Amino acid sequence: MNRLVPILISLALVIAAPLLLRESQSPLIPGADQLVIISPHNETIRYEFSRAFEETYRKRTGRNVHIDWRLPGGTTEIVRYLNSEFEAGFRNYWTRKLKFPWTKASLEGYSDSRLSGSPDKSSTAEYARNAFLNSEIGCGIDLFFGGGTFDFINLANRGFLVDSGVLNRNPALFSTGSDIAIPQALGGEPCWDLHGRWVGTCLAGFGICYNSDVLARLSISSPPTQWVDLADRRFFGAIALADPTKSGSVAKAYELMIQQQINQRLSEGENENQAVKEGWERGLQLLIQLAANSRYFSDAAPKVPADVAYGEAAAGMCIDFYGRSESEAVADDLGRTRLHYNNVRGGTSVGADSIALLRGAPHPEIAMAFIDFVVSCEGQKLWDFRPGTPGGPLRYSLRRLPIRREFYREPLRSFMADREADPYRDAQAFHYNESWTAPLFSTLRFLVRVMCIDSREELVAARAAIGDAPVSSPAFQKLLDVSPARYDVALRQIRETLRSADRLNEIRLANLLVAHFRNQYREAARMARQSQ
């Protein structure tokens, strides 16, 4: 028995360590008002906004408020969670209160943005849509805070987001005649919903983070500044990428890569329709080349700059604030850092990170107050003011760019951690065209999975076999064959399959395409070996 005591003590310490070391949460004050937020934001953002809003709320109302953060993962996981919760809520409402049978038509119709929502009961789908839009069905959550506009637009169109009244309460901020106004769109990217169902809170671009020490070991003298630079043979096995099916921001970066290819075809004199088709294929081929150089595909987007910083990879694709924050984290006392970040000029738009009021929010008045705080000058200071500056964050430098225009002028600019940043200037270098790729956003996520992730082993092996052979070689051309995913096929067959409520069809298509690309990459490897 005495021999077991040290073992039991060690086991107890292992179990207790995470509990002892975790950061303490703000205690729930008895009688405090409640606010429930679902978010992909990290702990630093949650801490600073919780602290500042609780203080502001107490000063304005004389009451305490407690924020209950719900954290299922990235935006993709959040969307899946909301889809599931609203479907369950509507099913209960439809079958128990309205006393209708649950059918495929009611399932597909209640959140179908293509339906008008007619009250005519002769169409089950239309009537289900009408019933949902005129209900207060909720999911027990007040706000969705954080994430790109694609998911917010989609959720708003489905009816999950409702007008928070923020446009009416802040007319100077959302009107064209004001010098502090947030534009409705910036470089083609929407910044807020015309119906007030979501609004942008900060701005972000995408780019490349790289480790200067690792680049030197690889004899790469010029750091990567464009997406195509990451396809260089010297980066084989050294690129960190993230899974777009787990992260909306990562999927957006891949979409912008394709948009850059379309713009290049336009600049070469191609007409728009043909440029979109050829640019789509060129973009997919570039994605294949990056995946062939990849060290891995991470489930978490923040892992990419962290691993690059510590030498696990030479370079990677990331959102700007991840790159800037990690660069600051590994800098020495003199500010020198091995991790650097560059926006891809001409290859990234400037998009908004947003906030929205959910249908059936249990605490709508407090939720609206939080939205107003986030877009106010006081709330905006938290995003990029240096800790300790007037109105800035208390502990953490968040390194995110405010959406309000006046922060890029003095005197506010002087307090910012990123004083040289100006997303309004950067947006002029790239114009996002929604019609080209936005309808295929979910399709692109799917294609990256089947072409690059599920078939990655065969892809990397083929790239190794091809070696230094030119892109024009038969083996390389075989590797880059994206004909099963060409633009017209993706827009019709693949997209429609993914939009179907029948998940079995999606699984069958995925299995078919994974098998195709695995065989294609094996054939490319065989051709490369035969040519040697």
Q: Is the pLDDT of residue 286 over 50?
A: yes
Q: Work out the pLDDT band at 23, boundaries 50, 70, 90.
A: very low
- 233 DSSP 8-state letter: G
CATH architecture, domain 75-203+351-426: 3-Layer(aba) Sandwich (3.40)
Q: What pLDDT, in 10s, does the model give residues 463-484?
A: 999 999 999 999 999 999 999 9
Mean pLDDT across the chain: 92
pTM score: 0.84
What is the number of other CB atoms lying within 10 angstroms of the CB of residue 250? 28
| Predicted local distance difference test score (pLDDT) of residue 179 | 75
Q: What pLDDT, in 10s, does the model give residues 63-102?
A: 999 999 999 988 889 999 999 999 999 999 999 999 999 9
Domain 206-348+434-531: CATH class, spelled out: alpha beta
| Predicted local distance difference test score (pLDDT) of residue 18 | 35
Query: Average pLDDT in the 176-183 region?
Result: 81
| Predicted local distance difference test score (pLDDT) of residue 26 | 57
Q: What pLDDT, in 10s, does the model give residues 409-424?
A: 999 999 999 999 999 9
Q: What pLDDT, in 10s, does the model give residues 102-144?
A: 999 999 999 999 999 999 889 999 999 999 999 999 999 999 9
Of 305, 300, 335, 337, the closest CA to residue 322 belongs to 305
72, burial (CB in 10 Å: exposed 0-12, middle 13-18, buried 19+): middle
**What's the CA gap between 202 and 204, in Å, rounded?**
7
User: For the chain, where do the domains classified as CATH 3.40.190.10 start and end?
Assistant: 206-348+434-531
Q: Work out the pLDDT band at 246, boundaries 50, 70, 90.
A: confident
**What's the CA gap between 225 and 221, in Å, rounded?**
12
The alpha-carbon radius of gyration of the chain (Å, integer) is 25
Query: Average pLDDT in the 318-328 region?
Result: 91
Q: Is the pLDDT of residue 506 over 60?
A: yes
205, burial (CB in 10 Å: exposed 0-12, middle 13-18, buried 19+): buried
| Predicted local distance difference test score (pLDDT) of residue 216 | 96
Structure tokens at 293: 């150089």
| Predicted local distance difference test score (pLDDT) of residue 27 | 64
